[in-house]
Amino acid sequence: MATTQPINVTDSAAEAIKARLTEAGEGVLGLRVGIKAKGCSGMAYFMQYEKEADSDDEVIEKGDIKVFVDPQSMMYLLGTTIDYVSTDTEEGFTFNNPNEKSKCGCGESFNT
């Protein structure tokens, strides 16, 4: 029976995360994804290496990578798909978040 994750990590995102974690060196447990107050719309995504997970973190596992999300960020990220896009004009992680109501003009921040 398949389990449903609160956040979906695509195969391409998992590969990109794995490559970055390999480059990060020893002691890194996974990647932390969250929300912080920022920008003209109020909230922005962040990603950082995680060396010490909190006991109340939600842990999303895909293959041999782990993504850590704190409970407050999870309220805004529930149902989000994290993808990795590489085209001629852009490369990076994208967040398809069903909770977003609008984004600012520059795309740096959003609100729910």
- Domains parsed from the chain with CATH numbers: 8-111 (2.60.300.12)
Q: What is the pTM of this model?
A: 0.83
β-sheet with 102-103: strand ranges across = 58-62, 65-69, 30-38, 42-50, 110-111, 102-103
Q: How confident is the model at residue 1 (pLDDT cuts 50, 70, 90)?
A: very low
Using the predicted structure, report yes or no on whether residue 82 has a pLDDT greater than 60.
yes
Cα three-residue angle 34-106-8, rounded to 5 degrees: 35
Interval 61-79 mean pLDDT: 94
Residue 10 has phi, psi (to 5 degrees) of -70, 165
Residues 84 and 13: their CA atoms lie apart, in Å, by 4
Indicate if the pLDDT at residue 99 is higher than 90: no
Question: Rounded to 5 degrees, what are φ and ψ at 47?
Answer: -135, 135
Q: What is the pLDDT of residue 37?
A: 79
Q: How many CB atoms lie within 10 A of CB 2?
A: 4
Q: Nearest Cα to 108, choosing from 36, 12, 25, 50?
A: 36
End-to-end CA distance of the chain: 33
pLDDT of residue 7: 93
| pLDDT bucket at 111, cuts 50 / 70 / 90 | low
Q: What is the pLDDT of residues 12-59, one digit of tens each?
A: 999 999 999 999 988 999 999 999 876 565 788 899 999 999 999 999
